[in-house]
Amino acid sequence: MRPHVNPHNVGRSLKIALLLLTLHATLIEAKTRTWKDAKVTDVSETIVSAASWGDTNIRHYTVETDDMVYVLDYAYNPAVKAPWPGQHSKNRAPDVTVNGKTKIAVEGRDAFVLDDTGREVKLPIAKKTKK
């Protein structure tokens, strides 16, 4: 005689197992960054015109730590709408305050900076200078 298995419980157990597996994989892949205190000392912008695709703006951020100065670039197209308000996307540059404090983590040719809302933004390093 076989025990009765409720298919509803099996489906729920499978969903829980899948959720735990996904959470575990996310935690394993999550990388802890080495953050340093920094200050945004300048923000400037260049507009590159491409008639068929619209303008592309490149915002240049100068970020200083105690031992380095980084120039970071962020390219975006203001004509493209973001999926939700406030999202960093290819239509809106991250908001940072000049002379404001932030944190920076450098990984290879990219830097991760915290914007004014505390969101992490990945920016390519255009130039770095030792103080």
User: How far apart are the C-alpha atoms of 58 and 6, rounded to whole Å?
Assistant: 58
Kindly give the confidence (pLDDT) of every residue in the chain, 131 residues in length, as a single tens digit, with 9 standing for 90 and above: 555 555 555 566 666 656 565 555 555 545 689 999 999 999 999 887 765 666 788 899 999 999 999 999 998 877 655 555 554 555 678 889 999 999 999 999 999 999 999 999 999 999 999 99
Are the C-beta atoms of 56 and 78 separated by less than 8 Å?
no
Q: Where are the domains of the chain?
A: 36-130
Nearest by Cα to 115 from 93, 94, 90: 94
pLDDT of 43: 94
Are the C-beta atoms of 39 and 63 separated by less than 8 Å?
Answer: yes
Contact 126, 72 (CB under 8 A): yes
Q: How far apart are CA 22 and CA 45, in angstroms?
A: 40
